[in-house]
Amino acid sequence: MPSRRRFLFSLAALAALPAVARAAPPSVEIIAMAHPPVRAALSPVRSWLAAQGHKVTVREIDIETPEGHQRLAAAGLSGHIPILILVDGQYRFQRADGSAVALINFPDAPPSPPGVRGNWLAADVEAVVIERMQP
């Protein structure tokens, strides 16, 4: 039965090929202070990221540790920064409307302290990550 033999050979050949490389899931690093106002500000972002399961790789670093200082410096930043969110190593992005957004400091929401309020919202983080999840 040449056709059966050919079919089995084809299956074996396919099994021997390396798996098609999937694009790696987006990587999100939350580098932030562990203080209560920061935890509350990041709650919507953390909840949404947790709901994404294995579609996103999330890593959290306390910004006040040596590792946190190193990540901040690696991003080209210094000073009193309570929150830095990196998506695939970047914190600056463009919104769909063309405006610039930087995932740094507190979100631009009423409970955030005015002196350290950035120009981002939890929806901006979601939009960036969703865009990165697309094939």
Can you give the pLDDT at residue 17? 44
Mean pLDDT score of the chain: 87
The domain segmentation of the chain, as residue ranges, is: 51-135
Which residue's structure tokens are 């990540």? Answer: 71
Q: Is the pLDDT of residue 113 over 60?
A: yes
Can you give the pLDDT at residue 14? 44
Q: Is the pLDDT of residue 63 over 60?
A: yes
Dihedral Cα 46, 51, 56, 60, nearest 10 deg: 20
Can you give the pLDDT at residue 111? 86
Can you give the pLDDT at residue 84? 98
Can you give the pLDDT at residue 6? 56
Express each pLDDT in 12-58 by its tens digit: 454 444 444 457 899 999 999 999 899 999 999 999 999 999 999 99
